Structure 1
Amino acid sequence: MKSRRSYINIIYEGKDITGELSPYLKGLSYTDNLDKGDSVTLSLTGDKWIKEWAILKGDKLKVEIGVINWRNEGDNRVLKCGTFTIDDLSFSGTPDTMNISGTSIDITKNLKGVKKDNTWENVSLKEIAQEISKTYSMDLFYDCTEEFTFDKVDQMKESDSSLLARISKEQGMAIKITMDKIIIFDEKTYEDKETVITFNKSNLMRYDLQCDDLEVYDGCELTFYDPILGEYLKGKYEAPASEFYKVKTGKILYQNIDTGVTGTTKEEKEKFLNERAKKILRNMNKNETKIKISHMGDPEYLAGITTKILGFGRYDGVYLITSVTHDINKGYNCSLDMRRRLDF
């Protein structure tokens, strides 16, 4: 079999500079996240980067990671990491080293950095996202099966990206912002997909498994005042017993909600509230069991993919990849953060 190898391609401000950087490239790290912007860091040797080649914040980088004969002969693949805006530069020595960091969110736009005051009335989450995406000439991918309507949403000294993240999370949804796209989605849709990768404890370079109960609840109860019916409505959901607890903790998450409720009768509206309570509880409990592993790198390791974890006894199961860091530095390795799929 021919020897396998990995490589990178770097486009800087529209120009392929891979060949020029190669003699100075110490390493590259690319992180793909499920529910926040991605990032990349290049480490370069020498001091030309602060002399004849002045790299500036706000400049654009496009990065690709490729493999040749990786798992077997002829297994040639490319991971298109995307376009990044340089947002951090650091220089250290000796020896001289420049670290260039970029984010998938365009810092030259005001989406993330400028704090605003605004009030939204009789509006849905999708409508707010549509207006904000239009303001910044971005595409919106709204991957949710239901609408979330609000009587009123206050934006006080808050950036548009923070506003969207806050109200999406409050409804049990997730959000990711890239260079030219806003994505709002239901993480359960990704958790329920068929697994495509299996990791066994015996094949891992390193692992760290945690079972956390700080933000884990047995149930969720919601209260909503319905002005049409003229009364308070309640919704609740109780999580199935966890195999990781001897007895239930008794912790209940109580919330008053002001979003619109679907339905005309009391029964229909309370059914809706029960489903909303389930979504909110899932969002709170989703990180109950987490694992971080290190493995030989591969372009197929991406956030949002479900995997099987084996060799950990009762902690075996289906896990959702929430973050992957691809490191190329005298080799190609990946560090993956995952959480175990809930039973509800």
Structure 2
Amino acid sequence: MALKIGIPTMSLGRPGLHSLDDKLHVAAQHGFQGIELFIDDLVQTRFNNSLLKAAQHTSAVCKSLNLTVICLQPFSFYEGLLDRTQTSTLLTQKLPLWFELARILETDLIQIPANFLPTDPETGAPRTSGDLNLIVSDLKALADLGAEQGFRFVYEALCWSTHIDTWEAAWAVVKAVDRSNFGLCLDSFNLAGRIYADPAHPSGKTATAETDLETSLKLLRDSAKSGDLDIKKIFYIQLVDGERLSAPLDQSHPFYVAGQPTRMNWSRNARLFPCEVERGGYLPVLKIAEVLFEIGFEGWVSLELFSRTCADPDPSTPRLHAERGMESWRKIVAALGLGIDVPAPLAAAGGKQVMTVQHRL
């Protein structure tokens, strides 16, 4: 099975608080093959007066460590904007810079999260449209510009996105865009976070969590089997869990931020790596991962963690997150019987990387 394991740079420590160089080194040391590069990590480097210099330095470090830059992300708040001058600015000013950065980083992939731009803070008026035709038209324009330059885009539904908040809705958008360089990211947290989890409820779940999950996963299986879901259009997947909170995430909760969706507040503070049950993980990540591998997904698997633990200023934070991430991947491989090699813990090899015996399908 051709699976490659990666981790986003912000999952190893907060940008600006922990150096990007350190995060790249610990990722490589712990056996990660690639990184999703968070744009804030480039902004917060010592080259903060030049993103291009930051990208050149980062590319050189990644090459020296044999790390692949899976993608540059996130290209946020783009599609469906009601203020069309903003759309034009993003296409004519921001996008060319991102193409230049991605080219330096030797990645052809840019990630786009489904729009979750909040309402106007002064008037309360919406700033995005749910008109599917407008959303698709905007993304077609983006894809066509990317195709001219040799770039791909990967679209992801967030469980708090304003209009496109399920994998089914995101796939409908990808199908309608109908461009070979425009694909899908499937994320276990966002899939389960929308239809299974409810951090505002004492149980941590929606009233129909189990039924809705089974229905969604059956649709995923059936769509892949029928060919309606083109597996090749799944450009990469993200596996991540969420913490079952000890109290509902309401206005009295420390994670609450006024004006932000509850699931967003939860996501920013309480994601976990898969199989971290001892830390409160409760989402059906293994069940989701099993279906994704069953339908034939091959390629990059990324462990996208956002968490309050990333903001720990301790210099050991990146190393601890890398250890947790690779241990999580080790558990996934063992639990699902994937036929791939997994790096052993560094301590088991006296500080040197070794490979475990394969788990076979």
- TM-score range for the pair, normalised by the shorter chain length: under 0.3
Query: TM-score with structure 2 length normalisation?
Result: 0.25
Higher relative contact order (Cα pairs below 8 Å, separated by 6+ residues)? 2
Bigger fraction of residues in helix: 2
Query: TM-score with structure 1 length normalisation?
Result: 0.25
Bigger fraction of residues in strand: 1
Greater C-alpha radius of gyration: 1
